[in-house]
Amino acid sequence: MGGIWIKGDSRWETAPGQGFELEKELHDLVEENIQMLPLLGASKLVVVGREVRLGPGWADLIAIELSGRPVIVEVKLARNADAKRGIVAQALSYAAYLQGTSVEQFESGVVQSYLNKLGHETVLAAVKAEDQEQALDDEAFLAALEEHLANGWFRLVLLLDETSSELQRIVTYLDSITSARTIIDVITISRYDVGGTVVALPERVSTDSETDTQNLSIKPPRRTTEGTLTDGPQAFIASVDRVQGAAREALDELIDWATEVAELPGVRIDTYTGVGGRRVTLLPRFATEKAGLVTIWNDNGKPYLSLWRSVFERRAPESISAVEALGVKVGQGNTVSDISTELRDVLGEAYGEATG
């Protein structure tokens, strides 16, 4: 039996679920924390639309994978009459409406209002703003997005607080007859009160016919010669060995700071080495969403930070004013080269806020 188990006086037992009173609560939770969804293939998503008009209906959420695949998310509570069959029909009808759409039509006619809300003119700009590794290739991404839209190669996410055997049978059948380029995920999110803390538990409901994860999509659009993502700070430390003077001192201080941040629960460090090894980034990120508040750069011996406002707003909103009080703008990928001790301290406190 799934769910959260708690230990009572004498034995372990399942915690009672609270459920969601309104569908909007579940909708808001996922829009603001899209990376919490345990999708097949562990793809990172960027939300580009909410309550999007597609034909006669309104799609709950539209997102984009870094691979260029569009994602349609339909949200239902189990008590909704459409939670067994209607949710499938709705998702398929939205996919059918999107098939054959060009990138220009998708941007101007489908998700333009949401892009404007995000402060972006294009889907590419919205996705790049969330690509903390800075590894996306513009032309490859747009070509992949165009191909997915033209052929109807989408990911359909059916999101509920509780699923049913009937829905699982329908999805299992669809999985068995559809191409591997069309993915259907059934996700449930349960809510619990554990010791006064509200906990959300997302789970992917597997089907009897699982898609081969090696064929989930067109190869993610990276540069022709890709960089390398490695666990831990070792590759970044190695890149710093060639730096001297004040820049070396600044980079060493940032490594020490990131190592300390990584001791917080749920924080890990990765290193991304760009093509040719001239640009190397240290990524103190939250393991649950593969994103962090900052990216640390060694750009051919030049140290600087990138700050990610969308992550601040999700994980550490109260720290935004503290950072900006130091004269540092919390933007979306803006860079900071004057990295004072005070700034490092405030950013450390921001990670502390983010991890509780």
263 or 6, which is more confident? 263
Q: How far is CA 37 from CA 11, 160, 193, in A?
A: 31, 12, 20
Strand partners, 192: 17, 199
Q: Where is average pLDDT lowest: 9-13, 127-131, 279-283, 330-334?
A: 9-13
Question: What was the pLDDT predicted at 226?
Answer: 60
Instruction: Give, for 234, the enclosing helix (H) or strand (E).
Output: helix 234-240
Phi, psi of 13 (to 5 degrees): -150, 160
Mean pLDDT of the region 26-51: 88
* Res. 220: pLDDT tops 80: no
* Token pair 């703003």 in the structure block, residue: 129
What percent of the chain is modeled with pLDDT above 90? 55
pLDDT tens-digit series, residues 71-88:
999 999 988 888 888 999
Q: Is the dihedral of CA 110, 292, 214, 159 positive or negative?
A: negative
Is the Cβ–Cβ distance between 315 and 281 less than 8 Å? no
Is the Cβ–Cβ distance between 6 and 12 less than 8 Å? yes
Question: What span, in angstroms and rounded, lies between the C-alpha atoms of 280 and 135?
Answer: 11
Question: What span, in angstroms and rounded, lies between the C-alpha atoms of 62 and 184?
Answer: 14
55 or 223, which is more confident? 55
The alpha carbon of 120 is separated from its chain's Cα centroid by a whole number of angstroms, namely: 18
Question: What span, in angstroms and rounded, lies between the C-alpha atoms of 356 and 219?
Answer: 36
What secondary structure letter does DSSP report for 82? G
84 or 281, which is more confident? 281
pLDDT tens-digit series, residues 155-209:
999 999 888 888 888 888 888 877 667 889 999 998 888 777 888 888 888 665 4
Mean pLDDT of the region 247-252: 95
What percent of the chain is modeled with pLDDT above 70? 92
Q: Please tell me whether residue 299 adopts helix, strand or coil conformation.
A: strand
pTM for this prediction: 0.73
Q: Is the dihedral of CA 45, 329, 270, 344 positive or negative?
A: negative
Is the Cβ–Cβ distance between 295 and 132 less than 8 Å? yes
Q: Please tell me whether residue 222 adopts helix, strand or coil conformation.
A: strand
Is the Cβ–Cβ distance between 207 and 163 less than 8 Å? no
Is the Cβ–Cβ distance between 147 and 69 less than 8 Å? no
Q: Please tell me whether residue 319 adopts helix, strand or coil conformation.
A: helix
Most confident of the following: 71-75, 138-142, 227-231: 71-75
Question: What span, in angstroms and rounded, lies between the C-alpha atoms of 44 and 65?
Answer: 6
Confidence of residue 223 (pLDDT cuts 50, 70, 90): very low
Question: What was the pLDDT predicted at 58?
Answer: 94
**CB environment 74-94: b (16+ within 10 A), e (fewer):** bbbbeeeeebbeebbebbbbb
Question: What was the pLDDT predicted at 163?
Answer: 86
Mean pLDDT of the region 47-71: 93
DSSP string, 139-205: HHHHHHHHHHHHHT--EEEEEESS--HHHHHHHHHHHHHS-TTSEEEEEEEEEEEETTEEEEEEEEE
